[in-house]
Amino acid sequence: MVVTTIELNKIYHEDCLDFMGKLEKEQPPLLVDVIVTSPPYNINKEYSYYRDNKEGKEYLHWIYQIAKKSFSILKENGSFFLNIAGTPSDQFLPYDVATQFKDAGYKLQNTIHWIKSISFEEEDVGRSNGTIRNNHNYDNNSNGFAVGHFKPIVSQRFLTDCHEYIFHFTKSAEVKLDKLAIGVPYQDKTNIGRWKSAKQDRRDRGDTWFIPYPTINESRPHPAVFPEKLPYLCIKLHGVRDDLLVYDPFMGIGTTALACLELKVNYLGTEIDEEYIKIATENVLERKNIIEKRSEDKKGRKIVDWVSSTTSAEDPEILGER
């Protein structure tokens, strides 16, 4: 990879549109494999520097410019994973944003639902694995359970929002993915061998991803971070290679950079808030130390454990919950 003025594995204190312009002007242009990001949602979130309250049309035009610019710095077989959500009173927001990407030339290859909290009735869990009890108790969850963080909204009209979108945009809708890299074990093991495609105990994760927020007890350093597992799964799904380059235009406090460190892939980031960059830099340094220690640990103990990071329901101390 020929890199002239742009140093890799760095978060730039710069406007993302300006920075993408620079990537484009490199000789040859510096193209990225994966963009994974969460932009400001224009919902008056209290960032320390950025003002999250553009006029509606102005916001969508800004998103269109970002989509258009990103199109010119994304490789032909690249992936753009865009995390966005609506609000109870503006349910069209994610679709309006997705439309800007369509207008900029992108195809929508996958729509992933990031599930933050979900409840199950006991008999429905049984129904899916064959241990059914014919007990039609759909209205109360007394024998069921709920997982993930649930922050109830006070409203007679709106359901509490427990999910966000991850739109997977590509240039052709034909980008081959490494689905089994983020696969899950078959629940019914008889599928292995019965289905030609099932050669191992691992199936496609599907497009609903349960990703709880990790619980923290300190005050939040940033009001709207996503959990590290989100960019981690996106990058793995696209396919990890040694020379992979990931870009997060809205890097915040460095979550995407941490996922890249875990996956040992190169990253670039931009963030307009100097305070967030300071925190991101500390987070990156701390994680590098952890990874170094881990690699010295002969047992190969894994410190970041996605599977066991499930939070208890109704826990108010949640990092960056939207």
Contacts to ligand SAM by CB under 6 A: 15-16, 38, 40, 47, 49-50, 222, 224-226, 249-250, 252-253, 255, 270-273, 276
**Min dist. Cβ of residue 264 to ligand SAM (A):** 20
Q: What is the nearest approach in angstroms of ligand SAM to the Cβ of residue 16?
A: 4
Smallest distance, Å, CB 273 to ligand SAM?
A: 4
- The Cα–Cα gap between 225 and 256 comes to 10
Of 169 and 276, nearer to ligand SAM (C-beta) is 276
As measured in angstroms, the least distance from the Cβ of 251 to ligand SAM is 6
Based on CB atoms, which residue is closest to ligand SAM, 148 or 227?
Answer: 227
| Alpha-carbon gap, residue 130 to 157, rounded angstroms | 36
Output phi, psi for 277, to 5 deg: -65, -40
* Shorter beta-carbon distance to ligand SAM: residue 256 or 266: 256
Residue 176 identity:
K
Beta-bridge mates of residue 112 = 166
Closest CB to ligand SAM among residues 60, 121: 60
Secondary structure (H, E, C), the chain:
CCCCCCCCCEEECCCHHHHHHHHHHCCCCCCEEEEEECCCCCCCCCCCCCCCCCCHHHHHHHHHHHHHHHHHHEEEEEEEEEEECCECCECCHHHHHHHHHHHCCCEEEEEEEEECEEEECHHHHHHHHCCCCCCCCCCCCCCCEEEECCCCCCCCCCCCCCEEEEEEEECCCCCCCCHHHHCECCCCCCHHHHECCCCCCCECCCCEEECCCCECCCCCCCCCCCCCHHHHHHHHHHCCCCCCEEEECCCCCCHHHHHHHHHCCEEEEECCCHHHHHHHHHHHHHHHHHHHHHHHCCCCCCCCCCCCCCCCCCCCCECCCC
Q: Identify which of residues 82 and 121 has a Cβ nearer to ligand SAM in the complex.
A: 82
CB of 57 to ligand SAM, least distance (A): 17
- Give me the residue whose beta carbon is nearest to ligand SAM: 252
Q: Which is closer to ligand SAM, CB of 121 or CB of 164?
A: 164
Nearer to ligand SAM, 203 or 226 (CB): 226
Contact 254, 280 (CB under 8 A): yes
Nearer to ligand SAM, 237 or 268 (CB): 268
CB of 84 to ligand SAM, least distance (A): 9
- Least separation, in Å, of the C-beta of 239 and ligand SAM? 22
Q: Which is nearer to ligand SAM, 49 or 195 (CB)?
A: 49
Minimum CB–partner distance for residue 174 and ligand SAM (Å): 28
CB of 277 to ligand SAM, least distance (A): 9
CA 218, CA 220: separation in Å to the nearest integer?
6
